[in-house]
């Protein structure tokens, strides 16, 4: 006889730390419980004695951490009687909103910047049958429009300004502590709209306050150089980066993210698109973990700060890999443009030669 209960998602697992009641209808796709993978080859390659773990959020149901917030936001929207949700998105929020709306049987409207979202994210959102509204403006413009239109139409905003999104997303910090038995010394993550750094810091604080863990991590937020308002210390107007998920100049969780940085003794830094893409490829090639470009900013940052000694040897570090690399096949193909597949005769001899040539 088995005593293990079928896993039914993060609200069920952490229901006593989330705003649901016994009668709440939970909208879930069994998100959460993502693997925490310890890197084996990269620490050796950089010659540093550190434990680096990656929290692979790309293995959530729609392929990004946005599912954590969306299960909670859509559950509460439905509980409050809402029949439609809306969001502005750089891609992953729209995919998650569309999927959870489909699950709940309500409508989803998503505003996306035309031509600036990864192909996989667009395909998913279409398949989940959301109404896609493309705007000839960036995420920040879309966000402003969503906030306005919600005053004029019966739609619930499910961007991370919706506090239930943060509630759902904080469970990633719980999972890390539950698995390791402690909080890491450093938590590194990409920062765009800054909801996620806000959520992790909230989760770690709740666990530390309740003595589930004795420590809290230093929070390190990494941005793309062309979209780095936290590094600039001010909002910026025309963010640009190949890492479209963090192509944001006016982060909505501005004050919360600064609080996380200050209270944890952490920092923000920025990386060029080349550095971010190099980290994405490194992680794929040397560890077998394929994340999307934005996610790799966390590893680019961690590696730089480990190599410089800012993160000292002996540290335990968690990097959040926010989304799955498969979402952005165009970038992946560009990354591997030199690795042309060979075409040969369909004969044993030719295949044998192709193999022996490479060994
Ligand atoms: C949304 C997203 C981010 C940025 O998270 P914020 O909470 O907006 O800071 C980073 N990476 C990926 C893949 C995302 O989808």
Dist. CA 181 → ligand 1 center (Å): 26
Question: Mean pLDDT over all residues of the chain?
Answer: 97
* 1, pLDDT greater than 70: no
Q: Which atom of ligand 1 is nearest to the CA of 160?
A: 7
Dist. CA 162 → ligand 1 center (Å): 15
Position 341 confidence tier, pLDDT thresholds 50, 70, 90: confident
- Please indicate whether residue 243, judged by its CB atom, sits closer than 6 Å to ligand 1: no
Dist. CA 34 → ligand 1 center (Å): 16
pLDDT, one tens digit per residue, over 218-269 is 999 999 999 999 999 999 999 999 999 999 999 999 999 999 999 999 999 9
Q: Which residues contact 169 (CB under 8 A, 6 or more apart)?
A: 65, 68, 69, 160, 195, 196, 199, 200, 203
Taking only Cα atoms into account, the Rg of the chain, rounded to an integer number of angstroms, comes to 21
Provide the pLDDT for residue 2. Answer: 59
Q: Which atom of ligand 1 is nearest to the CA of 169?
A: 7
The closest alpha carbon to 43, from 275, 277, 272, 282, belongs to 282
- Please indicate whether residue 32, judged by its CB atom, sits closer than 6 Å to ligand 1: no
pTM: 0.96
Q: Which atom of ligand 1 is nearest to the CA of 199?
A: 7
The CA distances from residue 172 to 10, 169, 290, 321, in Å, are 9, 6, 19, 11
Among 87, 92, 96, 261, which residue has the most ligand 1 atoms within 8 Å of its CB, making it the best to mutate? 92
Query: Which residues of 213-293 form beta strands (DSSP E)?
Result: 218-224, 267-271
* 196, pLDDT greater than 70: yes
Provide the pLDDT for residue 32. Answer: 98
H helix or E strand, kind and range, residue 164 = helix 163-169
Beta strand 131-135 with 156-157 is unpaired
Dist. CA 323 → ligand 1 center (Å): 8
Q: Which atom of ligand 1 is nearest to the CA of 195?
A: 7
Among 58, 59, 64, 239, which residue has the most ligand 1 atoms within 8 Å of its CB, making it the best to mutate? 64
- Tally of helices (H runs) and strands (E runs) in the chain: 15, 10
The tokens describing 1, both together, are 């006889």
Provide the pLDDT for residue 3. Answer: 64
CA distance 285 to 302: 18
Find tokens 């940085």 and name the residue: 261
pLDDT, one tens digit per residue, over 102-117 is 999 999 999 999 988 9
Nearest CA to ligand 1 atom 5: 192
CA distance 246 to 293: 9
CA distance 94 to 143: 12
pLDDT, one tens digit per residue, over 69-110 is 999 999 999 999 999 999 999 999 999 999 999 999 999 999
Find tokens 């993160």 and name the residue: 311
Look at 64-68, 240-244, 251-255, 339-343 and tell me which has the smallest mean pLDDT. 339-343
- Please indicate whether residue 85, judged by its CB atom, sits closer than 6 Å to ligand 1: no
Query: What residues does 53 pair with on adjacent strands?
Result: 38, 318
* 313, pLDDT greater than 80: yes
Neighbours of 231 (CB within 10 A): 19
Burial (CB count <10 Å: 0-12, 13-18, 19+), residue 281 = middle
Dist. CA 208 → ligand 1 center (Å): 25
The answer to whether the CB of 291 falls within 8 A of the CB of 280 is: yes
The closest alpha carbon to 212, from 240, 250, 173, belongs to 173
Position 5 confidence tier, pLDDT thresholds 50, 70, 90: confident
The answer to whether the CB of 230 falls within 8 A of the CB of 268 is: yes
H helix or E strand, kind and range, residue 78 = helix 66-79
The closest alpha carbon to 190, from 294, 37, 302, 96, belongs to 294
Dist. CA 64 → ligand 1 center (Å): 8
pLDDT, one tens digit per residue, over 319-338 is 999 999 999 999 999 999 99
- Please indicate whether residue 60, judged by its CB atom, sits closer than 6 Å to ligand 1: no
The answer to whether the CB of 294 falls within 8 A of the CB of 192 is: yes
Q: Which residues contact 300 (CB under 8 A, 6 or more apart)?
A: 222, 271, 275, 276, 278, 279
């Amino acid at each position: 006889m088995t005593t293990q209960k079928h896993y039914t998602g993060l609200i069920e697992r952490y229901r006593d730390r989330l705003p649901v009641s016994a009668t709440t209808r939970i909208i879930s796709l069994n998100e959460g419980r993502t693997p925490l993978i310890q890197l084996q080859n990269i620490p050796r390659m950089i010659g540093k004695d550190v434990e680096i773990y990656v929290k692979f959020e790309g293995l959530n149901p729609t392929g990004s951490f946005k599912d954590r917030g969306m299960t909670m936001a859509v559950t509460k929207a439905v509980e409050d009687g809402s029949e439609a949700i809306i969001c502005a998105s750089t891609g992953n929020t729209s995919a998650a909103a569309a999927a959870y709306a489909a699950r709940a049987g309500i409508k989803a409207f998503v505003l996306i910047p035309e031509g600036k979202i990864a192909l996989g994210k667009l395909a998913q959102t279409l398949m989940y049958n959301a109404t896609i509204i493309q705007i000839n403006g960036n995420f920040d413009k879309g966000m402003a429009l969503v906030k306005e239109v919600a005053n004029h139409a019966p739609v619930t905003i499910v961007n991370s300004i919706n506090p239930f999104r943060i509630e759902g997303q904080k469970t990633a910090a719980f999972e890390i502590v539950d698995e390791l038995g402690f909080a890491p010394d450093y938590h590194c993550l990409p920062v765009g709209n800054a909801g996620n750094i806000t959520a992790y810091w909230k989760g770690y604080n709740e666990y530390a306050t309740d003595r589930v863990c004795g420590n809290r991590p230093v929070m390190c937020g990494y941005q793309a150089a062309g979209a780095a308002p936290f590094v600039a210390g001010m909002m910026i107007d025309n963010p640009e980066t190949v890492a479209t998920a963090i192509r944001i100049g006016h982060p909505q969780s501005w004050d919360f993210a600064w609080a996380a940085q200050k209270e944890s003794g952490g920092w923000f830094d920025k990386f060029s698109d080349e550095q971010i893409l190099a980290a994405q490829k490194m992680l794929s090639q040397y560890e077998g973990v394929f994340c999307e470009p934005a996610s790799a900013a966390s590893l680019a940052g961690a590696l730089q700060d480990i190599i410089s000694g800012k993160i000292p040897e002996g540290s335990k570090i968690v990097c959040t890999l926010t989304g799955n690399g498969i979402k952005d096949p165009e970038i992946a193909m560009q990354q591997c443009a030199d690795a042309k597949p060979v075409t040969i005769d369909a004969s044993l001899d030719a295949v044998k030669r192709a193999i022996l040539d490479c060994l």
